[in-house]
Amino acid sequence: MGLIQNVLAVIVVLGLLITFHEFGHFWVARRCGVKVLRFSVGFGKPLWSRFDRHGTEFAVAAIPLGGYVKMLDEREGPVPAEERHLAFNRQNVWARIAIVVAGPLANFLLALVAYWALFVAGTTVVVPVIGEVTPDSPAARGGLAAGQEITAVQGETVRSWEEINLELVAAIGASGELTVQARDAGASHAREHRLPVEDWLVRQDPPQPLASLGIAPWRPRLPAVLGQVVDGEPAAAAGLAPGDEVVAIDGTPVEDWGHFVERVRARPGETLALEVLRDGERRSVSLTPRANTLQDGTTIGYVGAGVQPVEWPEEYRREIRYGPLVALGEATVRTGEMTVLTLDAIRKMVVGLISPSNLSGPITIARIAGDTARSGLESFVSFLAYLSISLGVLNLLPIPVLDGGHLMYYLVEAVRGRPVSERTQALGLRIGLALVGTLMLMALYFDLMRLW
């Protein structure tokens, strides 16, 4: 069931993003007087198609991992004399620039609308209260303590752990001090804390901002009650089911979910004698965690079970909601921040501050899309907005075969007064295909490594 949900979620996500992207090209092309031959969502053989009164074919194809808009163009085939004025290549350079840029801009617009809808409807976040501070960590040396609420990072106001993580990730590569403002429980004013860092998160795979600072968020106590059991994994094979509470392992009482996970991870391949409470009755269960090897070579036990969530206390929850006009401004700011963050992450990956293993391909996107869909509409829409921004940014990179590559050629043409030669464009196309192909293979490789 999880796999089916992941596949459906990624089809919905990619379908929306691609449709909006290609519609941007399509809409502006029509306004510039270019004839559009086909608007396709997906590649391969069309599963459904129809023609409109302008002669444009709208199609849904079999492979839902892309899409395209095909325009009338003399470089791609003969064009009747009476339709040459409708060809893309016959338009002035500024019209071609507008058509190329429209696709990525449509993705930024989709993200802005998504964030606006979230801010108007209201989002519920967890108040960023510190649960624990690791001794002798940057947080401890900076004077942070359990029970404090973080209110600002690097001078930027924060209201949730998500916003804190975004500010910390933006500081990757920093050396010196990170400034964090926090207030004690019941206090009205925050104090500034300076946390010493050196080459902050450089090449950490994956980046763990809070753990690296020695900060653990406050969380309610989680009893060792199973919320999900994965088919085919040791927990299911042992007969465990959602709702079971693990009360003891090998005769030793289990304090909470964290204690249960710790015991399981420490005993790969060993049989554990569990005492389980089900419907008020105690049962004995034998459970053998399978060995799972992490990327760093560490072997841990894994049983394929998840915790049953608990309600957060009201004082640790915060609702963020705005009126329609204010929400528009906030959505614009959030879209801009995420765009800058994405560009900065690409820059840091190129210069080696961020490991390339953080690249994600279709498998990871499918997993995250499925997870966010199961977490609720709010998480799913937020992920959709972020992915839309990423697609817009990546398409604007000056790499031939991408929109940014075509834009680069047209800007050179606008400056020089004549187009870039066909030979140069053909060479750029080969280089661009090699770059994009290499990135896709790397992303797929890291996807498979995460899955393995």
**Among 184, 178, 163, which Cα is nearest to 213's?**
178
Write down the catalytic residue from 22, 149, 163, 167.
22
**Burial profile 270-298: b = 16 or more Cβ within 10 angstroms, e = fewer:** eebebbbbeeeeeeebebebeeeeeeeee
Q: First vs last Cα of the chain: how many Å apart?
A: 20
Q: How many helices (H) and strands (E) does the chain have?
A: 12, 18
**Among 175, 181, 198, which Cα is nearest to 143's?**
181
Helices of type H across 207-361: 209-213, 234-237, 257-265, 324-351
Q: Is 311 a catalytic residue?
A: no
Asked if 275 contacts 247 with a C-beta cutoff of 8 angstroms, the reply is: yes
Q: Quote the radius of gyration of the chain (alpha carbons, Å).
A: 26
Q: In Å, how far from its chain's centre is CA 278?
A: 37
444-111-331 Cα angle (round to 5): 140
Q: Which residues belong to the active site?
A: 22
